[in-house]
Amino acid sequence: MTIKSMPMGMYQTNCYIVDSDNKQVIIDPGVDAVPWIIKNVSNPIAILNTHGHFDHVWSNKELKEKLNIPIYIPKDDSFMLQNDPFGQNIPKTTADVLVNGDEKFNIDGFEFEYILFAGHTPGCSVIKIGDSIFSGDFIFRGSIGRVDFPYSNPDDMKKSIKKILSWELASKDYIIYPGHGDKTTLKNEINSLKNWLHYI
């Protein structure tokens, strides 16, 4: 498996292309992501949104039209693709697959899993592919997603942090590819996550 990334737009939102056996999924195609994506895919099979914020989904519509591939998004964030709650004049589109909580998928042998960690948004999720986690705006290196936006929920974020802290009991580590900034690992973020529980 290979992973390419590029920060997009004024918020430097990380867009990822994950390739396995010459099949690619595109994760969080933000502002002006299309030229880079088109240049770096040969057999794209899906667009995966970790959540519905405009800087993570901006290029959904254009990519879907150019590549004719489905859009996946957590169902509780799907309204953001149409309603533009932040007034950014986002190109509106409709998801093809509404992910219901924790759910596993297999597209022609390409396996990935959505895991719900609500708080930053109602449907905020990570996408797990092998030992890699694409965390969107749930976990960053040394930080977490904001919970003071419309539709954010601090209580849900606390529950989500406790949920992922339970993974500490597992022997293996996970590489975290966040929606902004540099990659990290779950083990490296354990203390930070525990501390954030006291500040939310």
Instruction: Enumerate the domain spans of the chain.
Output: 2-196
E strands in 92-161: 97-99, 103-107, 110-116, 125-129, 132-136, 139-140, 143-144
What does the pLDDT look like over 35-92, one tens digit per residue?
Answer: 999 999 999 999 999 999 999 999 999 999 999 999 999 999 999 999 988 889 999 9
39 burial type by CB count under 10 A (0-12 exposed, 13-18 middle, 19+ buried): exposed
- Predicted structure pTM score: 0.97
Longest dimension (CA), the chain: 46
What does the pLDDT look like over 138-149, one tens digit per residue?
Answer: 999 999 999 999
Average pLDDT score over residue span 111-125: 98
What does the pLDDT look like over 79-97, one tens digit per residue?
Answer: 999 998 888 999 999 999 9
The helix (run of H) or strand (run of E) holding residue 196 is helix 186-196
- Is the distance from CB of 111 to CB of 105 less than 8 angstroms? yes
- Residue 199 pLDDT > 90, yes or no? no
108 burial type by CB count under 10 A (0-12 exposed, 13-18 middle, 19+ buried): exposed
- Residue 151 pLDDT > 70, yes or no? yes
The angle formed by the CA atoms of residues 124, 127 and 177, to the nearest 5 degrees, is 95
Q: What is the pLDDT of residue 172?
A: 76
Q: What is the pLDDT of residue 170?
A: 59
Average pLDDT score over residue span 176-197: 96
- Is the distance from CB of 23 to CB of 108 less than 8 angstroms? yes
Q: How many CB atoms lie within 10 A of CB 40?
A: 15
- Residue 195 pLDDT > 80, yes or no? yes
Q: What is the pLDDT of residue 171?
A: 64
Architecture in CATH of 2-196: 4-Layer Sandwich (3.60)
Q: What is the pLDDT of residue 169?
A: 59
What are the start-end ranges of the H helices in 24-147?
A: 34-40, 54-57, 60-67, 80-83
Cα separation, 54 vs 40, in Å, equals 22
- Is the distance from CB of 15 to CB of 36 less than 8 angstroms? yes
Cα separation, 15 vs 185, in Å, equals 18
Considering only residues 172 and 81, tell me which one the structure prediction assigns the higher pLDDT: 81
Hey, what's the torsion of the CAs at 43, 177, 200, 86, to 10 degrees? -40
Kindly report the average pLDDT of the chain as a whole number.
Answer: 96
